Amino acid sequence: MIYLDHAAATPVSDKVFEAMKPYFLHDFFNPSAAYLPAKKVAADYETAKGVIAHAIGAKASDLVITAGATEANNLAFSAIVTEDIFCSGPRPAGPSPRAAGANSRAAALRNAPSQNISSVLYLETEHDSVRKVAEQYGGEAVKVLPSGVIDLDDLKAKITDETQLISVSLANNELGTIQPLAEISGIIREIKIDRLRRGIKTQLLLHSDASQALNLLDINVARLGVDLLTLNSAKVYGPKGVGALYVSHDARLKPVIYGGGQENGLRSGTENVPSVIGFAKAVELAKEHLNGNRKKYASWRKILLAELQGYELINKKRSLDNFVVLCYNGMDAERLVFLLEEKGVYVSTGAACAASKGVKSHVLKAIGLSDAEIAGSLRLTLGETNDEAQIHEAARIINKVVTQEKERLDNER
């Protein structure tokens, strides 16, 4: 098997698995329990959060652990404040939605999507877990250039005095395109200064989904200038079903899930200790091997681009080193995926959740590809399950399959 779909899922590495094991079998105590072994588990949990936080230049207390990146993205949008939009009538009682962790559904509800004023901007190439939430808030999409990089002029043009939150992923999940977050946060800083001058108190927050980037980029929340950052364990050789949201002091969230009050009341539910321990170990390993892996993937990417034939490279610019997105014009990539699978090579046509629904990639559409080009596009994402020999072998097999398929199509004509 040659697995080239690491952007869709990664295995749990052996070291991560070993790190989790005792917390499943022996140190299983409820971190909220009063006795010492439980207190030790609670301490280990906090330490693990600290490791994850440290990797992005933050503190454990800045993180809210979630059941994955999708939940973290959803939670990030709870920072948006909008007044009663259904009417200008009196408000129900309840804490102010600006209050940190306002623990009231009524307050959360005042946080309603504005039907007329768009308080949310998001990049049109975002993952569904951002787009679908943004749409609920009447969010407006910001265009990307043909390179897949954000169109900063379009962003500037679309920011209004009502804009509260801008969501731009650090690296796109279909193209691997890295967005200039520092530049974006610079623009946001200017606007905030201008708003202050004009006495406009509306918040302006920058959220970024860093799911794909955690093990491929050196991430620092201060340097990026983000207020909210989504992290994902399942994409960095940690367990599925766990993620985290970094929350700056400027962002005030409201709970999405109510209950025992864990995670500072923002995300109730018994702490998923083994998964967080595993997530932390995965992050630790990712940071340890960051530079080595980047070099390795970059060289493998070069090999593929050199040895593959008859393709057009789609993600030319500013891409994560492990993303190779190719277009075989006039071919049906879905069929190529199937033919490659028969040869033991596993690739995808785009985001797994989108691919499964057979919908055309909104990302490839956004960068201006024609339907035919989209239909012929393959995403190869390299990772820890690969070695250099596999990369050469993959190139050979893909060339062979593509050639055979081309002959078949020519004969049909």
The burial of 1, by beta-carbon neighbours within 10 Å (0-12 exposed, 13-18 middle, 19 or more buried), is given as exposed
Quick check: is 353 catalytic?
Answer: yes
**Contacts with a second copy in 37-56 (CB under 8 A)?**
37-38
- One residue of 355, 380, 391, 398 binding a second copy per CB under 8 A: 355
Q: How many residues bind a second copy (CB under 8 A)?
A: 92
Query: Residue 249 has what DSSP assignment?
Result: T
Beta carbon of residue 363, minimum distance to a second copy (angstroms, whole number):
14
Structure-token pair, residue 182? 């520092």
AA identity, residue 219 = I
Q: 341 with 325: CB under 8 angstroms?
A: no
Q: Which is nearer to a second copy, 69 or 121 (CB)?
A: 69
Beta carbon of residue 66, minimum distance to a second copy (angstroms, whole number):
8
Q: Which is nearer to a second copy, 9 or 182 (CB)?
A: 9
Beta carbon of residue 112, minimum distance to a second copy (angstroms, whole number):
5
**Contacts with a second copy in 116-145 (CB under 8 A)?**
127-129, 132-133, 136-137
CA distances from 355 to 21, 232, 268 (A): 33, 20, 33
The burial of 60, by beta-carbon neighbours within 10 Å (0-12 exposed, 13-18 middle, 19 or more buried), is given as middle
Structure-token pair, residue 391? 């990369």
- In this structure, the strands spanning 345-346 and 2-3 are parallel
Return the half-sphere exposure (C-beta side, CA atoms, 13 A cut-off) of residue 48: 29
* Binding map of a second copy across residues 187-226, x = CB under 8 A, - = no contact: ----------------------------------------
* Binding map of a second copy across residues 257-296, x = CB under 8 A, - = no contact: xxxxxx-----xxxxxxxx---------------------
Q: Which is nearer to a second copy, 108 or 149 (CB)?
A: 108
Instruction: Give the residue ranges of DSSP H helices in 174-332.
Output: 181-197, 221-224, 273-288, 290-307
Following DSSP, what letter does each residue of 5-56 receive, concatenated? BTTT--PPPHHHHHHHHHHHHTS---TTSSSHHHHHHHHHHHHHHHHHHHTT
Structure-token pair, residue 257? 């899930």
Beta carbon of residue 30, minimum distance to a second copy (angstroms, whole number):
4
Catalytic pick among 15, 353, 392, 399: 353
Q: 237 with 198: CB under 8 angstroms?
A: no
Instruction: Indicate whether 33 belongs to the interface with a second copy (CB under 8 A).
Output: yes
Q: Which helix (H) or strand (E) holds 231?
A: strand 228-232
Q: Which is nearer to a second copy, 155 or 401 (CB)?
A: 401
- One residue of 357, 410, 411, 413 binding a second copy per CB under 8 A: 357
- One residue of 2, 12, 102, 144 binding a second copy per CB under 8 A: 12
Residues counted in the chain: 413
The stretch among 3-11, 153-161, 183-191, 199-207 that binds a second copy (CB under 8 A) is 3-11
* Binding map of a second copy across residues 331-350, x = CB under 8 A, - = no contact: ---x--xx--x----x-xx-
Query: Residue 201 has what DSSP assignment?
Result: -
Q: Which is nearer to a second copy, 103 or 399 (CB)?
A: 103
Structure-token pair, residue 244? 């985290």
Beta carbon of residue 380, minimum distance to a second copy (angstroms, whole number):
13
Beta carbon of residue 42, minimum distance to a second copy (angstroms, whole number):
9
Q: Locate tokens 């009682």: which residue?
A: 93
Q: Which residues contact 237 (CB under 8 A, 6 or more apart)?
A: 10, 11, 12, 13, 16, 215, 282, 285, 286, 384
- One residue of 54, 143, 192, 240 binding a second copy per CB under 8 A: 240
Instruction: Indicate whether 172 belongs to the interface with a second copy (CB under 8 A).
Output: no
**Contacts with a second copy in 56-115 (CB under 8 A)?**
66-71, 73-74, 84-93, 103-106, 108-110, 112-113, 115
Q: Which is nearer to a second copy, 28 or 408 (CB)?
A: 28
Report the first-to-last Cα separation within the chain, whole angstroms: 34
CA distances from 220 to 63, 88, 170, 240, 383 (A): 14, 42, 11, 23, 23
- One residue of 64, 234, 277, 320 binding a second copy per CB under 8 A: 234
Beta carbon of residue 302, minimum distance to a second copy (angstroms, whole number):
26
Q: Enumerate the active-site residues.
A: 353
